[in-house]
Homo-oligomer: A and B are copies of this chain.
Amino acid sequence: MKTWQSRIKGGSSSLFEDFTSSVHQDQRLAPYDVMVSVAHARALSRASVIKPDEAEQLVSALTEIGEEIRSGSFTWRDELEDVHSHVEARLQEKVGDLGGALHAGRSRNDQIAADLRLYVKDASLSALGAILALQHAFLELGRRYQDALIPSYTHLQQAQPVLIAQPLLAHVSMLGRDWERLRDGLARTDRSPLGSGAVAGSGYPLDRAFLAQQAGFSTVIENATDAVSDRDFLVEFVSCCALCMTHLSRFAEDLILWSTQEFGFVKLPDAFASGSSMMPQKKNPDVAELVRGKAALVIGDLTGILSLIKSLPLAYNRDLQEDKTPLFHAADTLLAALEICTAMVAELEFDPQRTEASISSFSLATDLADYLVSKGMPFRRAHSTVAELVAECLERGRALTDLSAVELETASPLFSAMPRPTSRTSVKRKQTAGSTGPEQIEAQLQAALQLLTDREAETKRLSPAQ
């Protein structure tokens, strides 16, 4: 029995029920729907639409229903179309006709908007915490290999030697911005649509600030039509998921490269790799590959939700029911990916001998050019002088470090007193803030740790008291 059955005479076909039912999806929202209903019961009483003891009866029955949902004893039935109908039907079983009084002054339109916002709030808070955990893991990994060298890359060609912490800190920084974006979005999610009715406001004198506070929102969305029709809090959250997953996919790509036979930079923890059913020797970086693949689907989630909302007339349209598919997929995927990356990073082992040995002598070419500049040659000419040396070496299959003092001086007399550069001296020369110089790495590690500590405190403040 639908809540609107009297108006629609024909009954509905089971084809219709299957096609339109959202219970499979929105039963995840049941705990929030109960919270919202408790708030509404209290607001109705405050507005004298129902009596205080009626409100108490409703609240206590709803609390029981909340318990049933949490414990799994709640019965989901195919003939009820959505989560709201389930809660209301169960309520009527418990309190009879009084259950039918609860819906005065509200609509499923403001209800579902509130349920979704409460869900996105929780998902955002979980993601904020999970990001901090992964950042911690990266920082600890950086500390563990603080003196170890590795090539850096641009265009996937070796660029200059760096300390291993340098790329790891890059990932910490990216995640830091993901954290900021989620926090900023959270402030826009944490606004209450309750009391907006179907589209035009409620005909009952409901106190919207009270409703918001009772349901756990920080503030109220002003316009009632906007409140029931807009889903940009959800788009913003899925955008954050898509961008954060994109960041993780870049780390996954590096990890896949680093664990090839050809690079050989890391040893994947056995617990995060799998074998082949056919080839006995295989050890595959499955987790990293799946993170990469899942990032693609979250991009698809974002495309889907934007395309869904595009061109919808005001206000609520049933199309919006479909917003839950990309939302839940994006949230679940991000949280799982953050969690498994954290566990994997914690157990990652670099092979510092191999990473250092892999650095090509040509990675020092910039150091040679910089030396010429320090002796007075304009940079562009220094660059081309060294480039000629590199080309010669390559032609004759020699390393840049194989060149004799005489050969160097022939290229430019300014080379005469140059101390021979090594990967380590190259790294030490970097002294700009945020660079790979050892002191700069130390400073970066410390600053990052401090920021994490501050943000842990901020995340706690943003979380509802339990």
Contacts and interface: CB of A to CB of B under 8 A. Distances in A.
Given A4-B275, A19-B287, A166 B200 contact: yes
Interface in A418-466: 427, 429-437, 440, 444, 447
B282 A297 contact: no
Given A16-B271, A362-B281, A430 B312 contact: no
Contacts of A170: 223, 225-226, 229-230, 314-315
A133 interface: no
A9 B269 CA distance: 10
A154 B254 contact: no
Contact of A286 (B20, B160, B178, B246): B20
A277 B437 contact: no
A434 B6 CA distance: 30
A293 B318 contact: yes
A134 B229 CA distance: 20
A57 interface: no
Interface string A260-294: 11110000011111111111111111110110111
A224 B98 contact: no
Interface in A231-255: 232, 235-236, 239, 242-243, 246-247, 249-250, 252-254
Given A160-B279, A225-B170, A379 B100 contact: yes
A54 to B, nearest CB: 10
Contacts of A272: 12-13, 16
A193 B343 CA distance: 31
Contacts of A300: 300-305, 307, 326
A12 B269 CA distance: 9
Interface stretch (A29-37, A66-74, A117-125, A202-210): A202-210
B97 A246 contact: no
Contacts of A225: 152, 162, 166-167, 169-170, 436
Contact of A309 (B235, B250, B269, B390): B250
Interface residues of A, number: 202
A348 B6 CA distance: 21
Nearest to A376: B101
A23 interface: no
A274 to B, nearest CB: 6
Given A369-B280, A378-B101, A202 B430 contact: yes
B261 A203 contact: no
A293 B155 CA distance: 12
A416 interface: no
A306 interface: yes
Contacts of A141: none
A294 B282 contact: no
A387 B436 contact: no
Query: Which of A252, A282, A294 is packed against the most chain B CB atoms within 10 Å?
Result: A282
Given A98-B378, A299-B310, A307-B310, A432 B224 contact: yes
Please give me the 8 A-B residue pairs with the lowest Cβ-Cβ distance, nearest first.
Answer: A201-B435, A300-B304, A4-B275, A10-B270, A100-B380, A293-B319, A289-B318, A296-B308
Given A159-B315, A173-B226, 16 more contacts: A4-B387, A7-B390, A8-B274, A10-B269, A108-B277, A155-B256, A166-B225, A167-B314, A170-B225, A170-B315, A200-B427, A205-B432, A224-B434, A261-B360, A292-B311, A293-B320
